[in-house]
């Protein structure tokens, strides 16, 4: 058994979603937690974490911009060939 404290707003949101799925709240939350835990345990990106050097200390905060810039550089290099 697990007991957690959550806000009233979160409780109401989970309850509405469970009702929409026609499931008891405890079963809905247990299934949700199981799904999240399984996805986290099998993260296909995890193998790439730290695989590439970066000169950006805040890479995680700016990954979309950095990847986009690097993608544009690679595209430009490929078109120059």
Kindly tell me if the per-residue pLDDT of 21 is higher than 90: yes
Write down the pLDDT at residue 51: 75
From CA 67, how far away is CA 2, in angstroms rounded? 40
Q: What six digits make up the tokens of 21? A: 């799925």
| Residue 16 to residues 11, 24, 25, 28, 51, Cα–Cα distance (Å) | 9, 10, 9, 11, 42
Q: What is the pTM of this model?
A: 0.52
From CA 64, how far away is CA 58, in angstroms rounded? 12
Q: Which residue has the higher pLDDT, 57 or 11?
A: 11
- Mean of the pLDDT values across residues 61-65? 79
Q: What six digits make up the tokens of 5? A: 């404290």
- Domain range summary for the chain, segments of one domain joined by +: 8-41, 52-80
pLDDT tens digits for range 64-80: 887 888 888 888 777 76
């Amino acid at each position: 058994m697990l007991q957690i404290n959550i806000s009233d707003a979160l409780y109401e949101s989970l309850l509405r979603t469970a009702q929409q799925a026609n499931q008891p709240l405890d079963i809905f939350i247990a299934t949700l937690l199981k799904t999240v835990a399984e996805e986290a345990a099998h993260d296909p990106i995890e193998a790439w974490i730290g695989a590439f050097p970066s000169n950006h200390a805040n890479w995680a905060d700016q990954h979309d911009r950095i990847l986009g810039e690097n993608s544009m550089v690679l595209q430009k290099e490929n078109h120059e060939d």
